[in-house]
Amino acid sequence: MAFLEVQNFRKRFGDNEVLKGISFSLEKGEVLAIIGSSGGGKTTLLRCLNFLETPDEGTLSVGGRLLFDAAEKRTYTDAQIREKRLHFGLVFQQFNLFPQYTVYKNVALAQTLLAKRELREKKADLRAVCKAAPKEDRKRLKAEQKGIVADLRDGMQRRIADRTEGLLARVGLAEKRDAYPFELSGGQQQRVAIARALALEPDILCFDEPTSALDPELTGEVLKVIKGLKSSESTMIVVTHEMGFARSVADRVLFIADGVIEEEGTPEEVFDSPKSEKTRAFLQKSLEDVFA
Amino acid sequence: MEQFWQISLDLLRGFGVTCQIFAATLVFALPLGLVLAFGSMSRFKPLKYVVKVFVWIIRGTPLMLQILVIYYGPALLFGWGFLERVVAVIVAFVINYACYFSEIYRGGIESISKGQYEAGQVLGMTRTQIFFRVVLLQVIKRIVPPMSNEVITLVKDTSLARIIVVEEILKIAYDYTIKGLIWPLFYTAVYYLIFVGILTLLFGFIEKKLNYFKV
């Protein structure tokens, strides 16, 4: 079984069926580029993977574990969905950084919130231990536990700081850590968004047209960062209109049109010898756009 | 001259009542407005429509009428006792202003892009975390200007309290005119102007404080 398995995703908005049975799989460490014209269902597919939309039909599994089954979707609680979601990260077309926080806080916030919850749970455990202990021991236990919690908190804070600094260095924005989003260029904002999406170490990082909202001269820096993330450990799905980028970075390419996978294969197969007429027409059109 | 100081003090006493209505209205109407805002955005349709109709009624009728209804209503309809006058005024003001505030909150909350919520969601945040950690400050920044308008209006609306003979500043000044002394009525403007001036500075300060980011 592949690392990511998507089986027969279907999604309908009113009368409009956007996904008409999408199935594909992806191995760990692979980069998948999804191409296709606007309105074809690419973005909806990514949103389904990130649980921002719920497919009407289909199943999804990651690392051999069934994460989503449309037949059981009503039984999922909010907390379960939050936990499932963490397998995926998403970089939005419009960045969606939190404007009131610095670059650093944008990247650190989700980690901090998770750490706080962990700490709360740990404290509850410790309190239970304390309650179960005989009365004369309680005072001593309480004092000991205070130390444990303090150490734990310090450790968490250090880990979060290290990780955040590391991520900012990785996207080349270490010196911007105290800037606010509005002080950054679009390209820089998108790089912060990438660092933020990586902060919780998702199994699969998704990009929804990460350069479409950028001025042409800024797309390069973002694409370079995404390329730099490629490694045997990181699995990525990139919805993109940048054919050159798809070709150079992707291990596999999906061409989606009208809610179905029209063509799939290695970049060479899809770009150089497309089998489907629709793919040929689409590639022709995007070439014309480049040289127009 | 002695008369001037004596009247100044008298008006100041009335202005104390004005401030009392003003402060109590804000303390209760600001949170109540948020509750109503959530009600009017609820996914539970019956609640949503009940709140919307309520807001329509309150915004669609004069505050003066509402004060009269709150004060006389319980006694006339059910034969209950009268509320203390100033309490009745405050109840009417809280209800009225909560409805206006709720619409301001709603506008503010709905103006935040869906992307902000989604960014929080994909980072595993809970609804509550998204509201308090991501959305709220952006909402506050957006609603400061309309809020300052509404709060300044509230200062002057307090003069409606005299319809049920609450001794606020304008009522006291008006009583002087009945005795043939007209200038205290115009003199009240000084009190209002000073108070509104302070509020304007305060809101300017808040706006400036929130200028460190852009939404």
How far apart, in whole angstroms, are the C-alpha atoms of residue B10 and residue B173? 9
Q: Which residue has the tokens 């920044």?
A: B141
- Summarize pLDDT for A56-114 with one digit per residue, the tens: 999 999 988 998 998 888 889 989 999 999 999 999 999 999 999 999 999 999 999 99
How far apart, in whole angstroms, are the C-alpha atoms of residue B144 and residue B186? 30
Q: What pTM was estimated for this model as a whole?
A: 0.86
Percent of chain B with pLDDT over 90: 75
The nearest alpha carbon in chain B to A80 belongs to B124
Task: Give the up-direction half-sphere exposure of residue A6: CA atoms within 13 A in the CB hemisphere.
Answer: 19
How far apart, in whole angstroms, are the C-alpha atoms of residue A237 and residue A32? 5
How far apart, in whole angstroms, are the C-alpha atoms of residue A237 and residue A29? 11
Nearest to B123 among A51, A181, A200 (CB): A200
Residues of B in contact with A180 (CB under 8 A): 212-214
Quick one: average pLDDT of B94-121? 95
Total length of chain B: 215
DSSP 8-state class, residue A134: -
Task: Report the first-to-last Cα separation within chain A, whole angstroms.
Answer: 44
Cβ–Cβ gap A96/B121 under 8 Å:
no
- Summarize pLDDT for A180-194 with one digit per residue, the tens: 999 999 999 999 999
Quick one: average pLDDT of B195-215? 93
Mutate to test the interface with B, among A82, A84, A201, A205 (most CBs of B within 10 A): A82
- Summarize pLDDT for B21-39 with one digit per residue, the tens: 999 999 999 999 999 999 9
- Summarize pLDDT for B63-106 with one digit per residue, the tens: 999 999 999 998 888 888 888 888 999 999 999 999 999 999 99
Flag whether pLDDT at A274 surpasses 90.
Answer: no
- Summarize pLDDT for A147-183 with one digit per residue, the tens: 888 999 999 999 999 999 999 999 999 999 999 999 9
> Please, are residues A87 and A4 in contact by the beta-carbon 8 Å criterion?
no
Q: Give the distance, in angstroms, between the CA of residue A65 and the centroid of all CA atoms in the same chain.
A: 18
β-bridge pairing A204-208 and A235-239: parallel
How far apart, in whole angstroms, are the C-alpha atoms of residue A135 and residue B166? 61
Q: Roughly what angle, to the nearest 10 degrees, separates helices B136-157 and B2-40? A: 140
Nearest to B119 among A83, A92, A100 (CB): A92
Which conformational region is residue A51 in: left (phi greater than 0), alpha (psi within -120 to 50 degrees), or beta? Answer: left
Cβ burial, residue A263 (10 Å; 0-12/13-18/19+): buried
β-bridge pairing A65-69 and A16-26: unpaired
How far apart, in whole angstroms, are the C-alpha atoms of residue A25 and residue A287? 28
Q: Which residues contact A280 (CB under 8 A, 6 or more apart)?
A: A274
Q: Give the distance, in angstroms, between the CA of residue A25 and the centroid of all CA atoms in the same chain.
A: 16
CB atoms closer than 10 angstroms to residue A79: 9
Angle at CA B87, nearest 5°, toward B84 and B88? Answer: 85
- pLDDT of the residue at B145: 93
Percent of chain A with pLDDT over 70: 99
Least confident of A283-292, B177-186, B192-201: A283-292
In single-letter form, the type of residue at position B149 comes to: N
- pLDDT of the residue at A292: 60
Report the mean per-residue pLDDT for chain A: 90
Phi, psi dihedrals of residue A34, rounded to the nearest 5°? -110, 120
Residues of B in contact with A199 (CB under 8 A): 123
Radius of gyration of chain A (CA): 22
> Please, are residues A59 and A47 in contact by the beta-carbon 8 Å criterion?
no
Radius of gyration of chain B (CA): 21
How far apart, in whole angstroms, are the C-alpha atoms of residue B46 and residue B37? 15
Cβ–Cβ gap B119/A50 under 8 Å:
no
Instruction: Categorize the per-residue pLDDT at B10 as very low, low, confident or very high, splitting at 50, 70 and 90.
Output: confident
Question: Could you tell me which of B48, B144, A196 has the C-alpha nearest to residue B136?
Answer: B144
CB atoms closer than 10 angstroms to residue A52: 18
> Please, are residues A261 and A24 in contact by the beta-carbon 8 Å criterion?
yes
Flag whether pLDDT at B4 surpasses 80.
Answer: yes
- pLDDT of the residue at A290: 67
Cα of B119 to nearest chain A Cα, Å: 6
Cα of B147 to nearest chain A Cα, Å: 20
Which conformational region is residue A235 in: left (phi greater than 0), alpha (psi within -120 to 50 degrees), or beta? Answer: beta
Residues of B in contact with A181 (CB under 8 A): 213
